[in-house]
Structure 1
Amino acid sequence: MITTALDSIIRKDSLIIAFLFVGVVVWFSYLISSKLTFGRIHGSAIAITLGLLLAYFAGLDTGGSKGVADYPLLAGVSIMGGAMFRDFAIIATAFGVDTDDLKKAGLVGASSVIIGVVLSFVVGAVVAVVFGYTDAVSVTTIGAGAATYIVGPVTGAALGASSEVIALSIAAGLVKSVLVMVGTPLFARHIGLDNPQAAMVYGGLMGTTSGVAGGLAATDPKLVPYGAMTATFYTGVGCLLAPSVLFFMVRGLM
């Protein structure tokens, strides 16, 4: 009877179980961030890393292709991690930003967003070509991932990239996020990152919201809102430019 009841709950409420599972992973990640790294590595970066590791080992164990969602108990993760919830989260973030706030950063702040997206994209695209990718879709997706681990999968889904390429784009964005988190407090003094204007420009250039927020939190918590503000716009601009203008440029070149 108990087994039957549990099976019924798993089938009917798989999405609720997925939210519970992800909530536990996020809670544990922020605990690690607080107790082991003293906030220098943001909890979101640790959570993403754990998620990738869990997906990898679940794939080895089950021989499937959906990560932890191949386990019946966690089947709801495939819905929670699908395109619908991902795009909803991105749109919700964009609607939470007041465009008037961007004007406070001036022309320099606005320009930093465009420069940051294009520069990161070019670096990621060049690396993709060096490692043997020659089709425009894959190069664009990996280049977008170098911008942020959100822009990468959004671009890949829009262009029809393979799941392997999308995973690489997420990994590229994750590495960038961790590097920004760790490097920001180390180099902040040398680059004059000690005022709101500099934080907004920095957020526009780096772009990774979690990386910038975590790095600025370790540098000066008062700077976090300013850096996160332009970093949020960076994600939106990347999602607009990568699968459109930048993709057409890459296709034209290749």
Structure 2
Amino acid sequence: MPITLTIRDRIAEIVFDVPPVNAFDSETWMSIPGLVREASSNPDAHVVLIRAAETARGFCGGVDIKEMQAHPERITVLNRGNYLTFKAIHEAEIPVVVAAHKFVIGGGIGMCGASDVILAADDAYFSLPEVDRGAMGGASHLSRMLPLHKVRAAFFTGGTIPVAEAYRLGAVEKIVPRADLVAEAQAFCGVIAGKSRKALVIAKEALNGLEPRDVDRGYRWEQGFTLEMYMHEDSQKARDAFVSDGKAATF
């Protein structure tokens, strides 16, 4: 299966393997919230680890732009799948750790930003190219990771944030060699898994309640602008350019 859930040693692992770049269509996005809830509500799990398969080219390429191009009527389903995925991660009963390698793009940012801890390989980078894809969204979750002006610079330029910079600014807990990412992530989760599940559940609820803003509500606000942008002719031009040659359109 392209996305799997296994529970072992109190660690619930959700693994993405959707070739070629873990860019998920609307149906796939709609399936992830249920997996997260299943993982986090299982009494045998004390922590959730979300990662890509070791053979995957990167953690997550975001949404399937080609589906959006071919089926614009699915944009609202896709939006809802994104929203419910990130909300499920943020509201999971137990801590959620993301182990990311190579590219973390669009929806990948949402999952990282909704999580509790991010571990990353030394080849990782973060990007919100929405402004070049005729879309919006993602800043709400990137704002849980990085300072305001860094978020805006990345958003307006569609540029990338190297893992070293994300680490410097406090978004990433630990950078590890690419070959060691899974082992290091499992070891980190093993420390959490050794704690009382009850204590972890209470701690997660308490920490979420202490946050100064509602990330889920903020993302829902963003999605209204996503739909507005998607209906504009410039959005069509941006998607045409991406599907044609993978480059940003010129305006």
Greater percentage in helix: 1
Same fold by TM (over 0.5)?
Answer: no
Q: Normalization by structure 2: what TM-score?
A: 0.31
- Normalised TM-score (structure 1): 0.31
Bigger-Rg structure (1/2): 1
